[in-house]
Amino acid sequence: MNAFSFRDTAIILSMVIVYIVVTTWLTIKLRSKTNDQFMVASRALPAALVGMLLMSEFIGTPATVGTAQQAFKSGMATAWAILTASIGFMLVGIFLARRLYRSGDFTISGLIASKYGDTARLVVSLVMAYALFVVNVNNYVSGAAALSTVLKVSLPVAAVVTAVISTFYYTLGGLKGVAYVTVIHGTVKYLGVVIAAVIAYRLSGGVAPMVQNLPHQYFSWDGTIGGPTIMAWLIGNAGALFSTQMVVQAVAATKNPESARNSTFYAAALCIPIGIMAAFIGVAAKHLYPGLNSIYAFPIFIQKTNVFWGGIITTAIVASIFANVATVALAITSLLIKDFYVPYFHPGAERQLRMTRYASVVVGFLPLPFVLMVPSILKTQFFTRGLRTAITMIALAGLYFPFFSSSTGATVGLIAATVATSVWFFLGNPFGIDNIYIAVVTPIIVMAIDHLHGSGKPKPEIAVTQGQ
């Protein structure tokens, strides 16, 4: 791997610092001043801006760096990891966005509470917080891998830098500040991926030499991944989108139901190019540097160009990190405050905003001890989506199968799915069965058993829905 000189590194670092200073100033200028602005930006965000926010949260550093890492091993078919998210966004727009907006809620647990009661709400909130916590661990790992390459620091140090700046962004800005600054982050991220793809294309001499040099599976529709895994990705992406707190929260921040739907269509369109480019970067890295550690399949191209373009790519990665960490941490904080702090302590508006900021700091730094435990960026990413898919299965069962109305069945089913999916993931997906399939099947089996044993009789409606 070529290394930048001390002077080059100083220039790149200066570019990153200037970017951080400018976006920090904007975050302060646009910061949330009320709890309503912090949580849902007073329901006043344009659809296009929310579309960029959704894409940046769901297709961030783990998706781009992780897709390049997996494409290095498996070929262009890895693009499906992001292309299936585009399909998922379309499905959310068609079937969920307007209905979700009209509900007036902004936590997925609140939506489920109206069907299954308060216990199910708390379990959903905890499972979602757990899944999003792992998402941010993944965010720190993928971002730190890129930053450590350029800044010549260790992975843990780069992760600490990520935590400090990202936590400042969202703790001060809330959703209102984060959303507007995310437009800049998303644009810069896109530019960085485009530049890295162009550099990879030029260094490879085009596509033809890559096709000649690499196994044919690298350019087949399913690569070495296989159809079942691609289908699992589709299920995982769609399922996660239907239940992810940040998606619910961002959609709730638009101006009206039509804007809510259109925001998901914008996000779907933005996903397609970035998926193809990220996979191409990974395949090009395999062609050019076959002995490279796969986690550096994307960062390697930072140091294969001049210092200016290298600085742009590095800044793009920084932008992606901040956008991801901030939005995910904000979603975790919203769940904890809305579902645990407010119902039990009944704070005033000022006290609630103050406690929200305190919780934000803890949530921002909590992932740091776990940054060295992630086995694979993309696999970990889809594990978290499997956990969120389990929540979606509970919600869909309640919406479309009225006989699955037992709070006990839903609660036990979700706990069982969380444990089973986690164990299956940490065992390495035994028998070649992806953990996402475990997340899909387990809650339905538990709820069916509960229904057959007679405890699935409809329970009295519990009026604890959020937002009322």
User: Residue 35: is its pLDDT beyond 50?
Assistant: no
Residue in the block written with tokens 């289908």: 231
Query: How far is CA 330 from each of CA 13, 170, 174, 320, 457, rounded to the nearest angstrom?
Result: 27, 7, 7, 15, 37
Say if residues 126 and 361 touch (Cβ distance below 8 Å).
no
User: Residue 36: is its pLDDT beyond 80?
Assistant: no
- Quote the pLDDT of residue 257: 84
As given in the structure block, the two tokens for residue 148 are 């450590």
As given in the structure block, the two tokens for residue 419 are 């444990």
- Quote the pLDDT of residue 39: 44
Most confident of 276-285, 321-330, 341-350: 276-285
Average pLDDT on 218-226 reads: 92
Mean pLDDT of the chain, nearest integer: 81
- Quote the pLDDT of residue 335: 79
Distance CA 294, CA 79 (A): 16
Closest CA to 353 of 33, 100, 49: 33
The residues with which 254 forms a beta bridge, in sequence order, are 45
Distance CA 40, CA 37 (A): 6
Regarding predicted confidence, which is higher, 35 or 92?
A: 92
Residues 6+ apart with CB under 8 A from 227: none
Regarding predicted confidence, which is higher, 332 or 45?
A: 332
User: Residue 412: is its pLDDT beyond 60?
Assistant: yes
- pLDDT tens, position by position, 119-169: 888 898 889 889 889 988 888 887 777 677 666 777 788 888 877 777 776
- Quote the pLDDT of residue 381: 85
pLDDT band at 267 (very low <50, low <70, confident <90, very high): very high
User: Residue 114: is its pLDDT beyond 80?
Assistant: no
The pTM of the whole model exceeds 0.75: no
Closest CA to 45 of 166, 175, 187: 175
Average pLDDT on 87-114 reads: 76
Alpha helices in 244-306 (DSSP H): 245-251, 257-288
Closest CA to 443 of 413, 422, 423, 419: 413
Average pLDDT on 399-408 reads: 78
Distance CA 434, CA 85 (A): 17
77-81, 103-107, 409-413 — which is least confidently predicted?
A: 103-107
- Quote the pLDDT of residue 46: 79
Most confident of 125-129, 321-325, 376-380, 412-416: 412-416
For 337-387, give the DSSP string.
Answer: IIIIIHHHH---HHHHHHHHHHHHHHHHHTTGGGTT--S-HHHHHHHHHHH
Percent of the chain scoring above 90 in pLDDT: 29
Pick the CATH number of 6-386 from 1.20.120.430, 1.10.1450.10, 1.20.1730.10, 3.40.50.460: 1.20.1730.10
Domain extent listing, the chain? 6-386
Distance CA 253, CA 104 (A): 10
Regarding predicted confidence, which is higher, 461 or 350?
A: 350
The residues with which 45 forms a beta bridge, in sequence order, are 254
User: Residue 192: is its pLDDT beyond 80?
Assistant: yes
pLDDT band at 103 (very low <50, low <70, confident <90, very high): low
93-107, 342-356, 447-461 — which is least confidently predicted?
A: 447-461
- Quote the pLDDT of residue 241: 85
Distance CA 285, CA 298 (A): 8
User: Residue 286: is its pLDDT beyond 90?
Assistant: yes
Say if residues 231 and 239 touch (Cβ distance below 8 Å).
no
User: Residue 278: is its pLDDT beyond 70?
Assistant: yes
- pLDDT tens, position by position, 3-22: 567 788 888 888 888 887 88
- pLDDT tens, position by position, 359-374: 888 888 888 888 777 7
- Quote the pLDDT of residue 135: 85
Residues 6+ apart with CB under 8 A from 434: 228, 229, 232, 382, 386
- Quote the pLDDT of residue 5: 74
The pair phi, psi for residue 178, each rounded to 5°, is -60, -40
- Quote the pLDDT of residue 55: 84
Average pLDDT on 219-243 reads: 90
Average pLDDT on 248-260 reads: 79
Residues 6+ apart with CB under 8 A from 363: 329, 332, 333, 336
User: Residue 177: is its pLDDT beyond 80?
Assistant: no
- Quote the pLDDT of residue 42: 43
Regarding predicted confidence, which is higher, 280 or 293?
A: 280
Average pLDDT on 182-210 reads: 89
- pLDDT tens, position by position, 309-319: 888 888 877 77
Percent of the chain scoring above 70 in pLDDT: 84
The pair phi, psi for residue 46, each rounded to 5°, is -65, 155
